[in-house]
Amino acid sequence: MRSSRKLITALATVALIAGCSSTATAAPGSAAPGSAAPTAAAPTAAAPATGAPSAAPQAWAQSDIFKGFDPMSVDLTGFTPGPNGEHSTNAADVPDPTAACVTQIKNAHLKLAFLNGLSGNTWMAAIEKGVREKAAEYGINVTMTAATDFDPAKEAAAVETVMAGKPDILVTIPVDPVAGKADYKPAVDAGTTIVFYDNPVDGWTAGKEYVTISTGDHYRMGKDAADLLAKALGEKGTYGFIQLDVAFYNSNNREKGFLAEMAQKYPNMKNVAWAGFTDAATVGAATDAMLTQHPDLDGIYISYSGAAAGVFASLQAANNKHVKVVTHDLDAANDVIMATAGSNYYGTAIEHTYDEGANTVKAAVLKRCGVDVPPFIVVPALAVTRDNLVQAWQDGFHATPPADVMKALGQ
């Protein structure tokens, strides 16, 4: 009687926990920078090897998000266009405000409110740094910050709350293109100068509800990652594709850029395995499966560095020194691995994140001085390996790498 009840309890518990593993949400800080909060679903198992020649379907075709995607159709020669086909402008081509404009702004003692998606995220911190330093340059006070945690309801609350402090400028990353309309309405109604970074709001036009979107060159970040992997493997070999399996504009574009470059330029590089994840905690298990099915895999692409810890742990556990990994973003912990000579982590393709933040403030200033601002402002991509890691931290984040990274570099 007693023991049978215990048995049932145990079974039910196991079943439940198995069921729940798919509900865990990515921990803050592990989310893709600039991506909507990744959410659950167990990692899809790595695909079996096709072993077919390059004409055969590549493993990534299993991804629901890339259904019908043709890698040959992507134009990698110019800056990535905006979500509504906005022409993109190189941030370098946006003029600086005139001296008169700067004086006018300084005398106005403007107040700026900054919303970030997640606290504790390196990428987000670099954006905020750019915003704060640029604002200081123009005598603008950053009076309030709030986190939205990639939750539209929190975003609504955050917007309302900061509006009580009557900011002149609002710099923010819309959480959700659909909910954004309701969430930002109070700010639009109050005539606040709104600048977005990274994400749009559906149905709104630059220059009307908001000034512009400041972001990175996502296709060509993907392209750079592909070039890095090709270089690491001598332009031939097999690789696995581990993807943040969430329909999200920017990270999808990076992945598309990567696949396009591979298809267009490296016919001898074969994508033999694919795995999707929504929770970074499951990436390790997905990598284990991939390595089991493809013991002689040569490379791995993973959507962002924050999720790559599982890949490195898995490789290390398998004592695999062969596989080369490429991804996006800088990450204090993983960069130590990159800095270690001969490690699995070959390189990463990043954007000039600090500049992306700084550009939002510049756009707001221009707008307030009556200058037309282009609708979609893009900072160029930057390919990073061990060789230029220190410089990349400088250029991308306006920061020196953490001491551990410097030590691993032998500096």
Partner 1 sequence: MSDGQSAVVPGRGRLRIPRRLPSGAVVYIGFVGIFLFFAVTLRDNGFLTIDNQLNVLRQTAFVSVMAFGTTFALSAGEIDLSIGQVVALTAMVTAVLLRDMNALVAVPAGLSVGVITGLTNGLLTTKLRVPSFLITLGMGGIIGGLSRWITNLQPVPVLDDNYTFVFGSGNIGPFPTLFVWTIAVLLVAHLVYRKTTFGRQLLATGGNRIAARYSGINTARIRIASLVICSVTASLAGLLYVGRLHSARYTLGETDLLTVIAAAVIGGTSMAGGRGSIMGALLGSLVMGVLNNGLILMGFSITEQDIARGVIIIVAVALSLREAPEG
Q: How far apart are CA 323 and CA 337, in angstroms?
A: 13
- HSE at residue 24, side-chain half, CA atoms within 13 A, is 18
Sequence-distant (6+) residues with CB within 8 A of 58 are 259, 270, 271
The residue within the footprint of partner 1, chosen from 7, 92, 178, 317 (CB under 8 A), is 178
Sequence-distant (6+) residues with CB within 8 A of 334 are 305, 308, 309, 312, 327, 345
The residue within the footprint of partner 1, chosen from 17, 99, 100, 341 (CB under 8 A), is 17
Residue 145 is a binding residue for partner 1 (CB under 8 A): yes
What's the gap between Cα 68 and its chain centre?
A: 23
Residue 153 is a binding residue for partner 1 (CB under 8 A): yes
- C-beta of 20: minimal distance to partner 1 in Å? 4
The residue within the footprint of partner 1, chosen from 150, 197, 266, 301 (CB under 8 A), is 150
Measured from the CB atom, the residue of 108 and 247 that comes closer to partner 1 is 247
- C-beta of 37: minimal distance to partner 1 in Å? 6
Measured from the CB atom, the residue of 167 and 240 that comes closer to partner 1 is 167
Alpha-carbon distances, residue 47 vs 109, 241, 276, 287, 366 (angstroms): 58, 10, 10, 11, 50
Strands (E) located in 94-175 = 111-116, 141-147, 169-172
Closest CA to 172 of 204, 210, 129, 217: 210
Residue 381 is a binding residue for partner 1 (CB under 8 A): no
DSSP single-letter state for residue 211: S
For 188, counting Cβ atoms within 10 Å of its Cβ (0-12 exposed, 13-18 middle, 19+ buried), the class is: middle
Q: Which stretch binds partner 1 (CB under 8 A): 32-40, 54-62, 91-99, 281-289?
A: 32-40
Measured from the CB atom, the residue of 252 and 343 that comes closer to partner 1 is 252
Measured from the CB atom, the residue of 154 and 265 that comes closer to partner 1 is 154
Site map (CB under 8 A) of partner 1, residues 99-138, x = contact: -----------------x--xx------------------
What's the gap between Cα 363 and its chain centre?
A: 22
Residue 231 is a binding residue for partner 1 (CB under 8 A): no
Measured from the CB atom, the residue of 162 and 300 that comes closer to partner 1 is 162
What's the gap between Cα 375 and its chain centre?
A: 21
- C-beta of 408: minimal distance to partner 1 in Å? 27
C-beta of residue 410 within 8 angstroms of C-beta of residue 386? no
Strand pairing class (381-385; 324-328): unpaired
Residue 247 is a binding residue for partner 1 (CB under 8 A): yes
Measured from the CB atom, the residue of 185 and 231 that comes closer to partner 1 is 185
Residue 325 is a binding residue for partner 1 (CB under 8 A): no
Measured from the CB atom, the residue of 8 and 403 that comes closer to partner 1 is 8
List residues near partner 1 by CB under 8 A: 5, 8-9, 12-13, 15-17, 19-23, 25, 36-37, 39-41, 64, 116, 119-120, 142-147, 149-154, 156-158, 160-162, 164-166, 176-179, 181-183, 202, 246-247
